[in-house]
């Protein structure tokens, strides 16, 4: 009876990790196949042949192990249904042939990696990943990992531009692909990451935000529609907290204590702490809180939310489009205009570094320059 199991082998590497191999046994003969992964012995469950759950890479590595076990057992089954004699040499030849076909196929690689990630990815990130995969398959249906080099990236970039995508959308697609190339390199599936030479062009960030007058026009609107009133409350709360839409609609009452929001940012998975100013507190005070309701705001889709905001935009006679993103941009620009340091604004927005926040500083500087021109009389 042929068997297969994942085991640790060889001496440890510089990190003290041992290589993970598949041990295939056929007619008492054994052969080992590398999975291009390693782990410290303390994180290895030898009985089950998997990585223990509390190791950081457990989900990704265990997914690879399970997939490879399934592939080997499928090859065992092929010998059975085709009435072929199963020997170690015959198995090895078929395994190597099967491996060359599967591990170099980008679509299969993407699905394998994505399956380990999707539970931890924010909705927008998941959408970006899937969009990138679809564009790549459209551009190169039979794409292999080995085909992704500098020339391929240049051609793919041109393809995206010809699809009339914005420079920011092109940037997002290439950034996703860069992430997967990095994983492929770390997994030993490609020798070099093609993005070492290829530079992703940064798009111009033209971020719309409201002035104080614009915002007070929204606040002072006379509304009779309950949906519009709820949307306005959410929008105003965003403008005074900087919350992303995903964090806004999942915000729970228990995450607000001593007039401070403390929660895990859904996108970055980092802790955020946002003190509530009086106008944000007023929004909460006007909410009819029910005892059995955990969430602060009623669940609403981003599409429906933005639809209500466009109505508010029209009623306030604004020339700027209102979206959940505009509320977040408004918070950042108002905070910087009032003199709150860039580092503090970056922390409140949940940015992992200040580079992302610096674009708002540039917007404020541009606005100052435009205002100073008024002195040319």
Q: Which residues contact 231 (CB under 8 A, 6 or more apart)?
A: 300, 305, 308, 309, 312
- pTM over the 0.75 mark: no
Closest CA to 221 of 308, 325, 335, 334: 308
Q: Domain 109-196 class?
A: mainly alpha
Cα-based distances in Å from 19 to 36, 39, 61, 352: 7, 7, 12, 33
What's the CA gap between 76 and 73, in Å, rounded? 5
Buried b (16+ CB within 10 A) or exposed e, 256-292: beeeebebebbbeeeebebebeeebeebbeeeeeeee
pLDDT digits (tens, 9 = 90+) for 21-77: 999 999 999 999 888 888 889 999 999 999 987 666 777 788 888 888 988 998 899
More confident residue, 336 or 281: 281
Residue 327 and residue 305 in contact, taking contact as beta carbons nearer than 8 Å = no
Q: What is the pLDDT of residue 242?
A: 92
DSSP 22: E
User: What residues does each domain of the chain span?
Assistant: 3-103, 109-196, 212-375
> What pLDDT does 118 receive?
65
**What is the pLDDT averaged over residues 163-179?**
88
pLDDT tier, 173 (very low <50, low <70, confident <90, very high otherwise) = very high
Is residue 159 a contact partner of residue 139, using CB atoms and an 8 Å limit? yes
Q: Which CATH code fits 212-375?
A: 1.10.443.10
pLDDT in tens, 61-77: 888 888 889 889 988 99
DSSP state of 16: S
State the average pLDDT over residues 97-113.
71
Residue 277: its H or E element: none
pLDDT at residue number 233: 95
């Amino acid at each position: 009876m042929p068997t297969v199991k994942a085991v640790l082998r060889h001496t440890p590497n510089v990190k003290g990790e041992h290589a993970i191999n598949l041990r295939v046994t056929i007619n008492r003969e054994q052969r080992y196949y590398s999975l291009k992964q390693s782990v410290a012995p303390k994180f290895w469950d030898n009985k089950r042949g998997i990585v223990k759950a509390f190791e950081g890479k457990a989900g990704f590595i265990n997914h690879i192990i399970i997939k490879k076990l399934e592939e080997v057992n499928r090859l065992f089954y092929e010998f059975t249904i085709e009435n072929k004699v199963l020997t170690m040499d015959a198995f090895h030849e078929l395994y190597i042939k099967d491996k060359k076909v599967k591990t170099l196929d980008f679509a299969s690689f993407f699905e394998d990696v994505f399956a380990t990630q999707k539970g931890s990815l924010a909705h927008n990130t998941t959408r970006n990943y899937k969009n990138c995969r679809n564009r790549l398959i459209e551009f190169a249906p039979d794409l292999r990992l080995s085909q992704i080099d500098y020339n391929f990236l240049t051609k793919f970039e041109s393809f995206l531009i010809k699809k009339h995508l914005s420079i920011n959308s092109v940037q997002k697609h290439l950034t996703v692909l860069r992430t997967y190339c990095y994983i492929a390199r770390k997994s030993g599936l490609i020798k070099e990451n093609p993005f070492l030479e290829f530079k992703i062009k940064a798009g111009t960030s033209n971020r719309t935000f409201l002035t104080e007058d614009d915002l007070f026009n929204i606040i002072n609107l006379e509304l009779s529609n309950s949906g519009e009133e709820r949307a306005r409350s959410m929008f105003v709360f965003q403008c005074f907290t900087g919350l992303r839409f995903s964090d806004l609609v999942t915000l729970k009452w228990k995450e607000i204590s001593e007039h401070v929001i403390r929660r895990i940012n859904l996108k970055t998975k980092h802790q955020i702490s946002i003190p509530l100013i009086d106008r944000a507190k007023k929004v909460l005070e006007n909410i009819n809180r029910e005892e059995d309701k955990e969430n602060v705001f009623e669940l609403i889709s981003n599409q429906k939310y933005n639809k209500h905001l466009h109505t508010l935009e029209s009623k306030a006679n604004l020339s700027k489009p209102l979206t959940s993103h505009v509320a977040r941009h408004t918070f950042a620009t108002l905070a910087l205009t009032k003199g709150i340091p860039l580092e503090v604004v970056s922390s409140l927005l949940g940015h992992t570094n200040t580079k992302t926040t610096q674009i708002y500083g540039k917007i404020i500087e541009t606005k100052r320059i435009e205002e100073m021109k008024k002195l040319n009389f």
